[in-house]
Amino acid sequence: MSAGRFVTSRADGRTDAEVIVALVQGVAPGTVVTYREMAEALSMGSNRRWDDRAVQSSARSSARRLLRETARVLIPVRGAGYRISQGFDHHGLALRRESKANNQLRMAVDVLRHVDYGEMTAEQRSVHEAHLTITGALFHQMCSVTSRQKRQDAAIQSLIARVDKLERSDE
C-alpha cells in the first residue's frame, strides 16, 4: 500500500485524525490518555503497528483538526501520553506558542541582519533587504503587542486583587 497522504490504512476508511478526534470526544477533559490507549484506538481495523513515536506523529498531525472540532488540545505528559486540555489550559498554551513564535521571529531577524552581502547579486541584496524590513517590522509589532498585553494583564490582575480586597472588607 502506498504511503501517500490521502491513502487510508483502515478497513472503515477513517484517517488517523478522525480516530484521534473520536477518541478525544469520548474522554473527559483533564483525563490522561496513554500512548497505549491511543495506539490501540489507532490500530483498530488497521494492519499497522503503533509505537509511541507513531502515536506522537499522528497526534501532532491531527492537532489543528482536533482543536477546531473539539476545542481540545493534547498536552504531552512525559512518558505517559497526553492529557486532554480543559478550557483554562488554553490561555497558557497560547502564551507558550506566542513566546516560541516571538523567539523564531527574533532568530529570523538575526539571520537576515547578519549576512555577507558580498556573496549576493544586487537583485538578491534588494530582495534580502526588503525581507529584513518586513520581518523586522513584524517582529517590532509583535514585541509591542506583547508588551501592551503584559501591561493590560497586570492591570487586570491589580483590579481583581482590589475588588477581592474590597469584597472581603465588606463582609
Q: Output the CA–CA distances (angstroms, integers) from residue 152 to 88, 128, 159, in the order listed.
A: 19, 36, 11
pTM score: 0.69
HEC sequence for 40-107: HHHHCCECCCCCHHHHHHHHHHCHHHHHHHHCCCEEEECCCEEEECCCCHHHHHHHHHHHHHHHHHHH
Residue matched to cell numbers 480543559 = 86
pLDDT of 129 > 90? The answer is yes
Across-strand partners of 77?
81
Averaged pLDDT of the chain:
91
pLDDT, tens digit, for every residue of 147-156? 898 899 999 9
pLDDT, tens digit, for every residue of 54-99? 999 999 999 999 999 999 999 999 999 999 999 999 999 998 998 8
pLDDT at 53: 93
pLDDT at 5: 57
